[in-house]
Structure 1
Amino acid sequence: MKYLGLAYYNPEKFAAMAPADVQALVSQCPPLDEKMRATGKMLVSASLAEPKDWVTLRPRGGKSQITDGPYTEAKEMVGGMFIIEADNRDEAQRLAAMHPAATLGEAGGWGVELIPLDFFLG
């Protein structure tokens, strides 16, 4: 089964961190990402651009209306995503726990949401 992992952060908490702390945190991410890739179970992994660069498309009168920014207003924002393939939920949780947002970044409000995918075109 395939799972979508959404890596969250809290923009206010992250912005309040000292630049040196941010750099120290971010520098720990590549080895964790590589460990996750080395399992052979990661299908896709990406960091997302800043929310100021996002656009939202909504249906209005049979056409797409495009507006700036994220669709929802929240204290936490999605900062990255990954798709993994796992034999069961326990394995998916073990794999997702390798992601930097699941093991680091408490000061920046990091966390991971793991969502089973019902349908996936690969």
Structure 2
Amino acid sequence: MKYLILIYSNPKSRAAWDKLTEEQQRRFGQDHYDLSDRLRASGELIVSEGLPGPETGKGVSIRDGQVVVTDGPFAEAKEYLAGFYLVEADTIDQVIAHAATLPDAHNDGIEIRPVWDMTQLDL
């Protein structure tokens, strides 16, 4: 089954990042590379990516039949998606074990969600 490991950030965690030494920031990044390498070697990694802050995003909605696009930042957002890993695993417990090795787990926590295979829907 596929799972998303969702990594969130917020102003508090961003401020904590800015206070880290260069070596601590390097170690943080290395921990992510190490997990990606382990997941790749085991065949579990599908893709992993980091995301820039919400101020780089766009909101898209339809109002009165028209496409409405808004710019970030989204002031109402207390936290935002900072990155993700899409993995294939037999059990959620395997995914939890991987997520627990991420440095982000010490700060804001990580969310794990199963992914629906939309190609299997009987429509």
> What TM-score do you get using the length of structure 1 for normalisation?
0.75
Q: Which amino acid aligns with 2:64?
A: G
- CA gap of 1:71–1:63, structure 2 versus 1, over 3 A, is farther
Does residue 111 (structure 1) correspond to residue 112 (structure 2)? The answer is no
| Greater C-alpha radius of gyration | 2
Does residue 38 (structure 1) correspond to residue 41 (structure 2)? The answer is yes
Does residue 18 (structure 1) correspond to residue 29 (structure 2)? The answer is no
Q: Which amino acid aligns with 2:8?
A: Y
Match of 1:83 in 2: 86
Does residue 101 (structure 1) correspond to residue 99 (structure 2)? The answer is no
Counterpart among 64, 68, 77 of residue 65 in structure 1: 68
Does residue 8 (structure 1) correspond to residue 4 (structure 2)? The answer is no
Identity among equivalent positions (%) equals 34
Q: Which amino acid aligns with 1:2?
A: K
SS of aligned partner of 2:60 = strand
What's the CA shift for 1:77? 1.6
- CA gap of 1:116–1:45, structure 2 versus 1, over 3 A, is same
Structure 2 segments unaligned to the other structure (5+ residues): none
Structure 1 segments unaligned to the other structure (5+ residues): none
SS of aligned partner of 1:81 = strand
Give matches, 1:49-64, under 5 Å.
49-64=52-67
SS of aligned partner of 2:77 = coil
Could you tell me how far apart the structure 2 residues matched to 1:43 and 1:83 are? 5
8 A Cα contact 1:5 1:81, kept in partner: yes
